[in-house]
Structure 1
C-alpha cells in the first residue's frame, strides 16, 4: 500500500474538487506532468461499456516517463501527441502501466528501449529487476518521483507520485480512482474493496492533485 515517505499528515476533512477541462497540465521544477488523454468509462444500453484509460506524461531534465499507454486503438493518437511535444518513442525512458488491463497497457510495444513497469514487474528488454513494490515499498526514481504500490482495483496496482509541481504533489493514480465522483462506481470494478479503500485514503492524505484512470484530474483539499 502507498507509503508516505515519512511525511506526517493530520487527518481531517477531505474534499475532492474537479478541475476544469482546460487544466490538464501541471508544470514544475524539475518535473512537469501533462495529461495526454483523459480516460473515460461510458455505460452502454446493452449492458456493455466503452472505456479507455488516461494517458499521462511526466517530463524532467533527465527523464521522460509515460504513465499508461491507452488501448491499442490509441496507437496513432499517442504517437501524434508525443510528436507534438518533440518526442518519439525512443525518447521515453520509462513506461509505467498502473495495472494490467488492456485499456491501460495497449501500446507497450511502441517502447522497446524503455524501462517497463507494469504493476509490480519491472523489466528492461527481457531482464527483470528486483524491486520492493510487492513488499509495499515505493520505488524511488529520484527525490521527486516515486512509483508507489496502491493495490485494490487489481492485486498489483501502482501509482506515480510527482513532487514539486505548480499544483503541489501530483499522483497519477490509474484506476485507484475511476474519476473524481466515483464514490459508488469504484467498488463495482474492485478486486478487493477493503484494500483499495485503504490505498485511496492514503492517496487523499498525501496528494494535492490526483489524475484518475477514467476522468479529469481533481484537487484534494484537506482541512
Structure 2
C-alpha cells in the first residue's frame, strides 16, 4: 500500500499513499482526488506547477480547487466521466488565490464560492468568521478551516466519516508529503504556516496536499 518510507514531521510521521489510492469512500461523504498536483523545477530558475483538484460527493457536491486554466478540458472531461456537469457542483472552494488553484472558477457560476476567507453566491458575499480563525461548517461532516501561512487567507476542507477517517484537503499548506523545509521558500509567513501545519497533523488522518499525492498521518 505504501510506496515510500515514512517521513518525520516533528512529533508525527507521514506516509505517502500509492498513486492508485486516490478515492476515499465514506458516509455520507466520499473524497476523490481528480488530479494530483505537481511542482517541477526547471532550468533558469522557473518551475512548472499545477494544483491538486479534489471532488467531495455526498449530500452536497463540492469541488476543492479547480486547477489552472490549462486544466479546463481535463476538469470538464473528468467531471463528465463521473456523471457530473458544472451545474451539478453545489460549492467550489479555492484554498487560496494562486492561478494554479482557482483558474477555472468561471465554469461554475451557479455554485457557492469560498475562496480564501470570502464566501459568495453570485455577487452576494456572506459574513463569516474565517478571518477570525473560526471554521465555517458546511454541515456536521464538512468544514472549511482557516489554515493561513502560504498566503494570508489559505483555507483547507475537512471531511469526517470516510473509510480512512478524517481527510483534510489542504491546498498548499503542504506542498507534498516530503516537503520538509521546502515549503518555507513558498510561504508568506512561515511561523503562521507552521502553526497551521501542526494543527492539521493533529487532526487529520489523511492529508491531500497541493502538489503531490495524499499521505497518511501516524501519531504515536
Q: TM-score w.r.t. structure 2 length?
A: 0.95
Residue 101 of structure 1: aligned partner: 98
Residue 35 of structure 1: aligned partner: 33
Given the alignment of the two structures, is residue 140 of structure 1 paired with residue 123 of structure 2, yes or no?
Answer: no
Given the alignment of the two structures, is residue 216 of structure 1 paired with residue 217 of structure 2, yes or no?
Answer: no
Counterpart pick for 1:18 among 16, 19, 35: 16
Please identify runs of 4+ aligned residues in structure 1 that moved more than 2 A: none
Residue 50 of structure 2: aligned partner: 52
Unaligned runs of 5+ in 2: 1-9
Counterpart pick for 2:149 among 126, 146, 152: 152
Given the alignment of the two structures, is residue 193 of structure 1 paired with residue 190 of structure 2, yes or no?
Answer: yes
Q: TM-score w.r.t. structure 1 length?
A: 0.94
Distance in 2, Cα, partners of 1:150 & 1:141: 17
Given the alignment of the two structures, is residue 77 of structure 1 paired with residue 79 of structure 2, yes or no?
Answer: no
**Displacement, 1:14?**
1.1
Aligned-partner SS, 1:46: helix
**Displacement, 1:184?**
1.6
Aligned-partner SS, 2:43: coil
Q: Deviations over 1:116-146 (max 9, x none)?
A: 0100001000000001101100000111000
Q: Deviations over 1:176-221 (max 9, x none)?
A: 0000000121000000000000000000000000000000000000
Q: Greater relative contact order (Cα 8 A, min sep 6): structure 1 or 2? A: 1
Distance in 2, Cα, partners of 1:88 & 1:76: 12
Residue 7 of structure 2: aligned partner: none
**Displacement, 1:13?**
3.3
Aligned-partner SS, 2:13: strand
